[in-house]
Chains A and B, each alone.
Chain A
Amino acid sequence: MTASNISPLKGLEGGDSSRAIGNVLRVPVASQELASQKQVPLSADKIIEAKNVSKWYGTFRALTNVNLTVRKGERIVICGPSGSGKSTLIRCFNRLEAHQEGEITVNGIRLHNKMRNVTEVRKNVGMVFQHFNLFPHMTVLMNCMAGPMWIKGVPEAEAKKIALKFLERVHIPEQANKYPVQLSGGQQQRVAIARSLCMEPAVMLFDEPTSALDPEMVSEVLETMTSLAREGMTMVCVSHEMGFARAVADRVIFMDWGQIVEEGKPNDFFTNPQHERTKLFLSQILSH
């Protein structure tokens, strides 16, 4: 990505432009080359397919007729103001939340409230939470081994190998025998990513993985996510890290009031947003 790609943003935000560029540059330069954005072919397998999904919390409608298809290898970033239903949407994808209308199919399995094979779905869908949610009573290593051992029945020695492999992948194999509270926020989030990867999921869901972190720890997590993206992991990220979105996303989705307002390739999305809401949101998020 070059400076000329960034410059149109300046006009958009009006305010302190250096901050916005800083935001973009947080992602290491090497990974920004990914922004060549090879189009994932339409023929690729659909990992997640949501059709006309609606969800209510009591009488409050949190999602309204959401349609979204995630194909194998696609990297999608979802953004939108607080309370717009981003978390709700991706939590529906592994059935942490139930939807009431429409249809969600994950890896060929339709999600509904009488399903008996929800584990089959969750095995294949990794999730990383805003607040890490590591298991505090287990060591980092055990956090990573638990899934393969108890769900897939992998023997302990092999589970350990898998865990170490993915801890290496997120660059913290040396912390393997510590407890989560002994790690920094950024390290904890990377362990959480490794824990999900150990299940070798078909798709990873990220729910604002960096928003609970101190600024200096954001980049280490983003780097991890970027390298995952580069290796072809299918990902759906709720994130306000616009630099990350520009660098890795195939599509950026903007949600508001429980609806998908706009979606597009990052370049179009950031430089030429169509809706007033999107423009307002982008100007707010890039100017603070």
Chain B
Amino acid sequence: MLYQDTVESEVLVHKPWFVASTFAIVLAVFLMPDLASTTLGDIMRPVIGDPLQSGFYGRVVLAFVIAVMFCVNIVLIGFAPLKAQIGIVWVELLLLSLAFFKVFNLNMPFIWENLPYLITQGLVTTVYISAVSLICASLVAIIAAVAKLSGNGFAYAIASFYTSFFRGLPLLIQVYLIYLGLPQLGIVLSAVPAGILALSLCYGAYMAEVFRAGIQSIDRGQWEASRAIGFGFGLTMRKIILPQALPVVIPPTGNMFISILKDSSLVSVLGVWELTFVSRTIGQPTFRYMEMLITAAVIYWVISACLEVAQSRLERHYARSKVR
């Protein structure tokens, strides 16, 4: 929380200098692209005549219109209450990104036709791989974090080598190394387990550092109080330290989860039928790459958004012992 002062500050978007400079910047930015051939140019036909013939005059008018709309928009939003502001801005940005997708002239029936398969095959595999990797990575990470913090030289050496190695290699190379390298040692893994192993080890290494920082953030007095009551290492860790470290590590761990979800697409190089692979495969024969990729993108985003919601719920849940 950036704890706000009790004195209300002037609304930034209602300050003339701010609106004026925003206007100037937006105007300058939109002078650069030639928007005459877009829908906007068409709408402005009464003012600028034939958009394609309007030349420099048309550019200036279009940029001017956009800048005016932008400034009116932010000034108006400035009057709304906080929740409404957040909602309005979200909806506007969403509409703008939809407008951006529209540039690709997507074939909607094709998308609707293939969406069920994309979900039942692609999404399910993706979620399965990510969820299993996520659990394994968390377990590996806790063990590695404790090993790194322990006074045991042997454990520290192994854990620090592990984090260094798996954080230092590109994930794609790790996937290949595990899938192609392990069979040389006589361990043959099929594609999905190999992918899960690679993701778990890589993200376990990242999360180990997150957990280590979380554990270290707990005041020494908590250890002492716990020990003084008689709790041994296990109880102290499970009941006192980790529950307090948890809220600290939720935001960075949320990052990791979202990242795992998306990086599970790297497993497609092993021919696993997860979301990215399925979308590419469906798009290929009909050359409708964009349709499928954008659909996959939206699906990834929706799932990430769900994770974000879960994260903020968790954060709120753990904030309760901090209330005053």
A interface residues (Cβ-Cβ under 8 A, vs B): 94, 96, 119, 122-123, 125-127, 129, 131, 133-138, 146-147, 150-151, 179-182, 195-196, 199
Contacts and interface: CB of A to CB of B under 8 A. Distances in A.
Contact of B228 (A94, A136, A137, A150): A94
Contact of A133 (B224, B243, B244): B224
Contacts, number: 65
Contact of A147 (B219, B221, B230): B230
Contact of B225 (A123, A133, A137, A151): A133
B321 A181 contact: yes
B320 A179 contact: yes
Contacts of A180: 321
A179 B323 CA distance: 9
B322 interface: yes
Interface of B: 219, 221-222, 224-232, 235, 239-240, 243-244, 320-324
12 contacts: A119-B232, A122-B228, A122-B229, A125-B228, A126-B228, A129-B221, A129-B225, A133-B221, A136-B321, A138-B321, A180-B321, A196-B229
A135 B222 contact: yes
Contacts of A134: 225
Given A122-B227, A133-B222, A181 B323 contact: yes
Contact of A137 (B219, B229, B231, B321): B321
A200 to B, nearest CB: 12
A122 to B, nearest CB: 4
B232 to A, nearest CB: 6
Given A127-B225, A196-B229, 19 more contacts: A125-B228, A129-B225, A133-B224, A135-B222, A135-B225, A135-B226, A135-B240, A136-B244, A137-B321, A138-B321, A146-B229, A147-B231, A151-B229, A151-B230, A179-B320, A179-B323, A181-B322, A181-B324, A195-B229
Contacts of A196: 228-229
Contacts of B231: 147, 150-151
* Best-surrounded residue of B219, B227, B230, B323 (most CB of chain A within 10 A): B230
A137 B238 CA distance: 13
B230 A137 contact: no
Contact of A131 (B221, B226, B227, B320): B221
A216 to B, nearest CB: 20
